[in-house]
């Protein structure tokens, strides 16, 4: 039932991976420019800074989604029958949406941050107009529609193969201990379920806000809008990691010779995650005192519990799979192991910030990008880079040149130190999303800029090398 | 205080994690008994899950007693009421000279978009905060223990001059 079909990466996956690599690099450059601006090393005006900030935020969320989709599509397609047309349709919606988003930002001046928190998009104070806001939000909506098609197709294919979501989640295995679905199918089913819900919620609030832009009389309660936005945003960005980690489940065993076995706690963990990731988002609203108390308490408790099951199992399984395995180290395997470190490390300050008493002095400081750069830059993006490198090498282990080792270490140290500088700034109460920093905060940004430059240079070397492998036609055997 | 605790705990735990990775990577070359490693992995998985669970339960229980909302539920006995309203891009605050050692009740809202109402002490460290949301009044109670000039900074991105949305509170001994 679970026989895996071995096949090389097909066109859509390669295009996804190539676009992901290029956009990730561009977003890293935006990040460098922003940190240099905060450190007064570049004379960028605040309106441009906030446009870059908006583009960096939505760009990274979208490309993490696209890169994660490439990983999921590629490996899920080995177990279920996915129709390539949906991958191309998703890409068409994605690219159309991106054009609208970029037009709204860089032509229309839209700069309400990627979270488009109501009612800021309609209150640009002369910096942008309602058409620019509509272009941005309409673009995000189109990207979401494409992703929804993608997940509806994966849902169809999973049900066609496994009969129900319950079987694809492995619930029958909990009873019988027989016929466990592959880890990839379990993770893909969870992502499919939670992201269909999240994208629909995102579509609802985006549509409501688009209507409000042109008919302001139809107002939305700001607290309701914030709940909907963060429910959508939190689930979507978490899903990017859950999709990208499939690369670890599928690729790492080829280096270690140890299969990624599915066992009962693994099934429990993913099913629990399905529920918890949908209920943890109130930790983004801990400083909205008008929010019901039970939601605050739920936000803190689920923050502690939601990350633990899947992460703890993936962390221990990763370490266990490489310990005394005679693993073949190359850039792909090294990036995969690094990504699990980044994800695990990032969860620590994230959970701490989910503590209400801590959030009271950390909320919206640079502590927040500190933790999410650990698990997105050093976690999710690193998983996507590993996957890109894997398909660039025709899905085989490769050599590990001195240059590659150097670039890997520069990337690992720079990305880690870059995130730590955010955390250090956060504990010093430096606010996030400030174009102009006070004199006493400049040193943090200046030092961080050095590490950001290290990230850009090393990632460029890794991505350019992978692009060459992806674009180069496959050699005939 | 919580800033330092968060930083130190994060660094210590991340360092332990890094040590675990370095140890395993250093011992990844030589091939060992796969079954024995799998059994050891299972034991470590159990230890990690139980250890983190046993650590987190008291931490969650204790920190939930430190919630700022609990203070909001206490009757407003003798608190100085201060209305704070955020605008793009300035604060309108009904009273900016406040007594030390006396509870202050900030009734925080916004006239336009979401803002963040964060109080910074004289060392430019956040002492407390809440959101300023249009159509909503968030009640924030705080007692200043030290006199001095405190700053209010906007911590929710609100447009192109977000970073200049600052004002001051003067806390004086009575």
Residues within 8 A of B (CB atoms), A 408-437 only = 423-424, 426-429, 431-437
A195-242 tens-digit pLDDT: 999 999 999 999 999 999 999 999 999 999 999 999 999 999 999 999
Range of the domain at A460: 2-476
A470 Rama class: left (phi>0) / alpha (psi -120 to 50) / beta: alpha
* In the block, residue with structure tokens 């460290």: B125
Q: What is the pLDDT of residue B32?
A: 81
Q: Please check whether residue A437 is in contact with residue A39, taking contact to mean a CB–CB distance below 8 angstroms.
A: yes
The minimal CB distance from A352 to the residues B6, B130, B140 is found for B6
Give the whole-angstrom CA distance, residue A114 versus residue A88: 25
Query: Nearest residue on chain B to A320, judged by CA atoms?
Result: B41
Domain boundaries, chain B: 2-65, 78-172
Q: Which letter does DSSP use for residue A378 in this model?
A: I
In this predicted structure, the answer to whether residue A1 has a pLDDT above a threshold of 80 is: no
Q: What is the pLDDT of residue A2?
A: 45
- Percent of chain A residues past pLDDT 70, beyond the cut: 97
The minimal CB distance from A326 to the residues B30, B49, B68 is found for B30
CB-side exposure of B128: number of CA atoms within 13 Å? 20
Q: What is the pLDDT of residue A63?
A: 97
Measured in angstroms, the CA of A297 and the nearest CA of chain B are apart by 8
Q: What is the pLDDT of residue B30?
A: 84
Evaluated on CA atoms B30, B31, B36, B38, the torsion sign reads: positive
In this predicted structure, the answer to whether residue A403 has a pLDDT above a threshold of 50 is: yes
Mutate to test the interface with A, among B162, B165, B168 (most CBs of A within 10 A): B162
B58-90 tens-digit pLDDT: 999 999 988 888 555 555 667 899 999 999 999
A27-59 tens-digit pLDDT: 999 999 999 999 999 999 999 999 999 999 999
A338 vs B32: which has the higher pLDDT: A338
The continuous run of DSSP H or E covering A308 comes out as helix A308-322
Question: What class, spelled out in words, does domain B78-172 have in CATH?
Answer: mainly beta
Return the number of CB contacts < 8 Å for A and B: 237
CATH number at residue A337: 1.20.210.10
In this predicted structure, the answer to whether residue A3 has a pLDDT above a threshold of 50 is: no
ipTM: 0.95
Q: What is the pLDDT of residue B72?
A: 58
A3 vs A95: which has the higher pLDDT: A95
B35: contact with A, CB 8 A cutoff: no
Name the 3-class secondary structure at B116: strand
Give the whole-angstrom CA distance, residue A115 versus residue A469: 35
Mean pLDDT in residue range A61-65: 97
Question: Is B167 exposed, middle or buried (CB count within 10 Å of its CB: 0-12, 13-18, 19+)?
Answer: middle
A440-467 tens-digit pLDDT: 999 999 999 999 999 999 999 999 999 9
Q: Please check whether residue A419 is in contact with residue A385, taking contact to mean a CB–CB distance below 8 angstroms.
A: no
A283: contact with B, CB 8 A cutoff: no
A149: contact with B, CB 8 A cutoff: no
Name the stretches of chain B with pLDDT < 50.
none
Q: What is the pLDDT of residue A306?
A: 86
CB atoms within 10 A of CB A332: 29
Mean pLDDT in residue range A283-294: 96
A250-271 tens-digit pLDDT: 999 999 999 999 999 999 999 9
Domains held by chain A: number? 1
B116: contact with A, CB 8 A cutoff: yes
Mean pLDDT in residue range A187-194: 98
A383-400 tens-digit pLDDT: 999 999 999 999 999 999
Rounded to 5°, the CA angle A382-A384-A389 comes to: 95
Give the whole-angstrom CA distance, residue A199 versus residue A287: 25
């Amino acid at each position: 039932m679970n026989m895996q079909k071995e096949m090389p990466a097909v066109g859509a996956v390669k295009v996804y991976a190539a676009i992901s690599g290029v956009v990730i690099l561009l977003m890293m450059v935006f990040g460098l420019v922003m940190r240099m601006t905060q450190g007064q090393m570049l004379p960028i005006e605040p309106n441009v800074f906030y446009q870059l900030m908006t583009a960096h935020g939505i760009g990274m969320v979208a490309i993490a989604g696209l890169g994660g989709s490439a990983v999921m599509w590629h490996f899920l397609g080995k177990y279920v029958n996915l129709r390539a047309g949906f991958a191309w349709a998703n890409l068409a919606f994605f690219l159309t949406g991106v054009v609208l988003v970029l037009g709204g930002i860089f032509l229309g001046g839209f700069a309400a941050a990627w979270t488009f928190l109501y009612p800021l998009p309609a209150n640009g104070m002369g910096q942008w107009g309602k058409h620019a806001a509509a272009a941005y939000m309409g673009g995000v909506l189109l990207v979401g529609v494409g992703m929804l098609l993608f997940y509806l197709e994966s849902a169809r294919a999973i049900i066609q193969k496994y009969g129900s979501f319950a079987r694809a989640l492995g619930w029958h295995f909990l009873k019988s201990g027989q016929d466990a679905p592959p880890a990839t199918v379990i993770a893909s089913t969870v992502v499919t379920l939670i992201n269909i819900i999240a994208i629909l919620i995102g579509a609802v609030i985006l549509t409501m806000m688009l209507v409000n832009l042109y008919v302001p009389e139809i107002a939305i309660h700001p607290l309701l809008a914030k709940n909907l936005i963060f429910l959508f945003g939190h689930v979507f960005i978490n899903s990017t990691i859950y999709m990208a980690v499939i690369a670890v489940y599928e690729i790492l065993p080829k280096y270690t010779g140890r299969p990624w076995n599915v066992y009962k706690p693994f099934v429990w963990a993913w099913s629990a995650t399905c529920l918890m990731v949908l209920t943890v988002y109130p930790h983004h609203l801990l400083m909205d005192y008008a929010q019901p108390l039970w939601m605050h308490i739920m936000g803190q408790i689920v923050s502690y519990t939601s990350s633990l099951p899947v992460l703890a199992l993936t962390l221990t399984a990763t370490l266990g799979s490489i310990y005394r395995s005679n693993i073949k180290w190359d850039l792909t395997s090294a990036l995969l192991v690094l990504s699990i470190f980044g994800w695990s490390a990032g969860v620590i300050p994230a959970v701490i910030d989910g503590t209400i008493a801590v959030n009271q002095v950390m909320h919206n400081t640079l502590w927040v990008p500190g933790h999410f750069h650990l698990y997105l830059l050093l976690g999710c993006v690193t998983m996507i880079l590993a996957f890109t490198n894997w398909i660039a090498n025709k899905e085989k282990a490769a050599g590990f040149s001195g240059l590659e080792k150097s670039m890997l270490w520069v990337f690992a140290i720079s990305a880690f130190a870059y995130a730590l500088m955010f955390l250090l700034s956060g504990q010093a109460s430096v606010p996030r999303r400030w174009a102009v920093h006070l004199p006493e905060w400049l040193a943090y940004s200046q030092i961080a800029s050095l590490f950001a430059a290290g990230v850009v240079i090393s990632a460029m070397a890794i991505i350019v090398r992978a692009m060459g492998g992806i674009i180069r036609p496959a050699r005939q055997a | 205080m919580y800033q330092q605790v968060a930083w130190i705990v994060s660094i210590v735990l991340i360092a332990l994690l890094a040590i675990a990775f370095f140890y395993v990577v250093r011992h990844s070359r030589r091939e060992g008994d796969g079954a024995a490693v799998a059994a050891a992995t299972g034991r470590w998985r159990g230890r990690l899950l139980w250890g983190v669970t046993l650590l987190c339960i008291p931490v969650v229980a204790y920190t939930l007693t430190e919630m700022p909302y609990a203070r909001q539920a206490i009757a407003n006995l003798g608190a100085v009421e201060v209305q704070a309203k955020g605008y793009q891009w300035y604060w309108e605050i009904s009273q900016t000279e406040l007594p030390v050692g006396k509870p202050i009740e900030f009734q925080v809202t916004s006239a336009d978009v979401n803002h963040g109402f964060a109080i910074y002490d004289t060392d430019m460290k956040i002492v407390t905060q809440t959101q300023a949301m249009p159509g909503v009044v968030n009640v924030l109670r705080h007692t200043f223990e030290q006199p001095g000039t405190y700053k209010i900074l906007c911590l929710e991105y609100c447009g192109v001059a977000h970073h200049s949305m600052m004002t001051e509170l003067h806390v004086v001994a009575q």
